[in-house]
Structure 1
Amino acid sequence: MSRASSVRSGGDGVELLHRLVGGDGGAALDALLEGFERRHPDVSLGDVTDENLSLEVKSRILKENPPDVWIEWPGKNLQPYDDASVLGDVTEVWESGDMERNYLDGPKTASKFDGAYRAVPLNIHRINNLFFNVDLADEVGVDPASIDSPRAFADELQRIDRETDHVGMLFPMKNPWTVLQVWETVLLGEHGHDTYVGITDDSASAHRRAIVDALDIVKQYSQVATDDKLYMALTDANDRFIEGESVFFHQGDWAAGAYSESDRFRYHEDWDHVPFPGTENLYAMNMDAVISAAVVDDPEAVSKFLAYAGSPDGQKRFNQKKGSIPPRTDVDTSTFTPFLQEQQQAFQHSRAQPLSITHGIGVRPAQLIELKTAISTFVSTWDVDAVADDIVAAFDAT
Structure 2
Amino acid sequence: MRNRSVATVAMATVVALGLAACGSSDEPEATPGGESSLATTAGGAGGEVGVFTWWAAGSEKKGLDALEALFKEQYPNNTFVNLAVAGGAGTNAKAKLASDLQNNQPPDSFQGHAGAELLDYIDAEQIEPVNDVIDALGGESVFPKNLLDRLTVDGSIYSVPSNIHRANVVWANTEVLNKAGINAVPADMKAWIADLEKVKASGVSTPLSVAGTWTQVHLFETVLLADLGVEKYNGLFDGSTKWDSEEVKTAVNDYKTLLSYANTASDGDDWPVATDMVIDGKAAYNVMGDWAVAQFADKGKQEQTDYQYFPVPGTDGVFLFLADSFTLPKGAKNPGGAKDWLMLVGSAEGQKAFNVAKGSIPARTDVPPTDFPPYQQSAMESFKNDQIASSIQHGAAVSLAWLTDINAAISKFYTTKDEAALVTDLASAASKYTG
TM-score normalised by L of structure 1: 0.82
**Contact kept? 1:14, 1:302, Cα under 8 Å:** no
- Gapped regions of structure 2 (runs ≥ 5): 1-44, 86-91
Counterpart of 2:374?
Answer: 338
Per-residue CA distance 1:117-159 (angstroms, 9 max, x = gap): 11112123321111223344344443443x2222332244345
Counterpart of 2:316?
Answer: 280
Backbone CA RMSD of aligned residues: 3.2
**Contact kept? 2:174, 2:306, Cα under 8 Å:** yes
- The CA deviation at 1:322 is 2.7
Residue type of the alignment partner of 1:293: P
State whether structure 2 residue 398 is matched by structure 1 residue 363: yes
- The CA deviation at 1:169 is 2.8
Distance 2:174 2:180 in 1: 10
Counterpart of 2:32?
Answer: none
State whether structure 2 residue 128 is matched by structure 1 residue 93: no
Q: 1:386 aligns with which of 412, 421, 426?
A: 421
Distance 2:359 2:106 in 1: 30
Per-residue CA distance 1:283-315 (angstroms, 9 max, x = gap): 223432110124567766544432331111111
Query: CA, structure 1 residues 211+15, in 2 after alignment: closer, same or farther (shift >3 Å)?
Result: same
Residue type of the alignment partner of 2:258: Y
Distance 1:171 1:298 in 2: 43
Query: CA, structure 1 residues 151+112, in 2 after alignment: closer, same or farther (shift >3 Å)?
Result: farther
**Contact kept? 1:17, 1:53, Cα under 8 Å:** no
Counterpart of 2:174?
Answer: 134
> What percent identity do the matched residue pairs reach?
27
Residue type of the alignment partner of 2:380: Q
**Contact kept? 2:328, 2:339, Cα under 8 Å:** no
TM-score normalised by L of structure 2: 0.76
Query: CA, structure 1 residues 337+374, in 2 after alignment: closer, same or farther (shift >3 Å)?
Result: same
Query: CA, structure 1 residues 328+259, in 2 after alignment: closer, same or farther (shift >3 Å)?
Result: same
Query: CA, structure 1 residues 16+171, in 2 after alignment: closer, same or farther (shift >3 Å)?
Result: same
- The CA deviation at 1:255 is 2.7
Task: Give secondary structure in 1 for the equivalent of 2:310.
Answer: strand
State whether structure 2 residue 208 is matched by structure 1 residue 170: yes
Distance 1:333 1:351 in 2: 20
Distance 1:236 1:55 in 2: 22
Q: 1:192 aligns with which of 229, 235, 256?
A: 229
Task: Give secondary structure in 1 for the equivalent of 2:111.
Answer: strand
Q: 1:241 aligns with which of 266, 269, 278?
A: 278
State whether structure 2 residue 245 is matched by structure 1 residue 208: yes
State whether structure 2 residue 66 is matched by structure 1 residue 31: yes
Counterpart of 1:256?
Answer: 293
Distance 1:64 1:236 in 2: 35
Distance 2:337 2:206 in 1: 52
State whether structure 2 residue 176 is matched by structure 1 residue 151: no
Query: CA, structure 1 residues 137+210, in 2 after alignment: closer, same or farther (shift >3 Å)?
Result: same
Counterpart of 2:26?
Answer: none
Query: CA, structure 1 residues 140+16, in 2 after alignment: closer, same or farther (shift >3 Å)?
Result: same
Q: 1:102 aligns with which of 142, 146, 149?
A: 142
Residue type of the alignment partner of 1:328: R
- The CA deviation at 1:350 is 3.1
Per-residue CA distance 1:176-203 (angstroms, 9 max, x = gap): 2222111100111221222222213355
Per-residue CA distance 1:25-69 (angstroms, 9 max, x = gap): 44433432443444445x645435152644554445445453332
Total equivalences in the alignment: 380
- The CA deviation at 1:261 is 2.5
Counterpart of 1:79?
Answer: 119
- Gapped regions of structure 1 (runs ≥ 5): 1-10
